Amino acid sequence: MAVNAGSSSLKFQLINMPSEEVITSGLVERIGQEVGNFVIKVNGEKIQTQTPIPDHQVAVDLLLNALVDHHIVESLEEIDAVGHRVVHGGEDFDDSVVVDEEAVKKVADLAELAPLHNPANIIGYKAFKEALPDHVGHVFVFDTAFHQTLDKERYLYPLPLEYYTDLKVRKYGAHGTSHKYVSQQAIEMLGNPKESRIIVCHLGNGASVSAVQDGKCIDTSMGFTPLAGIMMGTRSGDVDPSVIDYLIEEVGLDMKEVIKMLNKESGLLGVSGVSSDFRDVQEAAANGNERAQLALDIFFRRVIAYIGRYFIALGGVDAICFTAGIGENSFFARKEICNLLAEALGIEIDDDANVNGKGDRLISTPNSKVKVYVIPTNEELVIARDTKRLLNL
């Protein structure tokens, strides 16, 4: 069972290993609100239940009972292990880990760095631990672990060094599970060469770019928090920090309000004034909305700025990969980004493969100097694979 528990939601996939077949998937939403929502796939059909779901324990019980009631499993004994996504592993975890008391304590301590996420991840773990027999193994899979291979000169901010040594202020990155999965798929698609230079563009509502050399992440665009890097649905990405002080002085906002603005009111939403959803912004731009067009133009330029930076860091690039909501689904976004790179990197896109293809695929032409791939991300599969590997199942 691969689990992604948020503060008011819980997504799950039950995966048969080693065949990697998804047996069922679904989510519980609005945990703690008056009426919760539970969706589970049974024989390919989504079954939805609306009922009060006061806490994560109730959510987990609801989900486990549904597995048995719908005969997805005959008994809960069939579940061998649970892999839990954990947002922040700090410097303590450079790989997934079998859960023990020490791991729980460390994840709880790291809540200082991810106050919205880590506590929810622990609550999710405890609910499954409580509901399933004791022999069921649990594994934490960290969203930061893949980025722990960054060198000091790339993860350190040029601040007084004490802020790192005393307070661990540094770049951690995020979306690591996705960057790991996509870069591994790309290496396979390149024919498993010994040496490879890959740039992964995870373009969803949250968005990040990473540079992967010979399977190891050497740099990534998110920072101390997921606010840094490229422009996102509602997040600004990189801005000069002096803007914060200026807005506090000039507009009379307080610090919390400015940080909220940067996280929730910026990005595609803030520039376009239309929506944080790429499709809405694209549609508005096509209908002549100039702010929407400007939002798209900034978005694309911020993506290529990181690609350029990582091209240099990697000493060249063999493959650029697109993944997540925008990266997987928008042939328009891929084409615009690749057009902006065409001259500098000698990229040529195969329009038919870009527009009409499905699943993992090459979308560049044989003449292209860089291969361009679309690789739908699969974080749940990484969670299942790591869980199986660490528990020797």
How many angstroms separate the Cα of 299 from the Cα of each of 181, 276, 324, 351?
Answer: 24, 12, 15, 21
Residue 6 or 233: the one with the smaller Cβ distance to ligand AMP is: 233
Of 147-206, binders to ligand AMP (CB under 6 A) are 204-205
Residue 224 or 331: the one with the smaller Cβ distance to ligand AMP is: 331
| Max CA distance (Å), the chain | 63
- 93 near ligand AMP (CB under 6 A): no
- 326 near ligand AMP (CB under 6 A): yes
Residue 120 or 232: the one with the smaller Cβ distance to ligand AMP is: 232
| Residues 328-347, mask of contacts with ligand AMP (x by CB under 6 A) | -xx-----------------
Of 239-278, binders to ligand AMP (CB under 6 A) are 277-278
C-alpha angle 144/145/146, rounded to 5°?
95
143 a catalytic residue: yes
Q: Are 296 and 289 in contact (CB under 8 A)?
A: no
Shortest distance (Å) from residue 383 CB to ligand AMP: 16
Residue 343 CB coordination number (10 Å): 8
Upstream peptide bond of 18 is cis (omega within 30 degrees of 0): yes
Q: Are 171 and 195 in contact (CB under 8 A)?
A: no
Catalytic residue (one of 143, 219, 350, 386): 143
Residue 194 or 358: the one with the smaller Cβ distance to ligand AMP is: 358
Of 286-325, binders to ligand AMP (CB under 6 A) are 324-325
Any bridge partners for residue 27, and if so which? 11, 39
- 279 near ligand AMP (CB under 6 A): yes
Which residue has the CB atom at the shortest distance from ligand AMP? 325
| Residues 218-237, mask of contacts with ligand AMP (x by CB under 6 A) | ---------------x----
The CA distance from 268 to 258, in Å, is 17
- Please report, as ranges, the residues that interact with ligand AMP according to CB under 6 A: 204-205, 233, 277-279, 324-326, 329-330
Residues catalogued as catalytic: 143
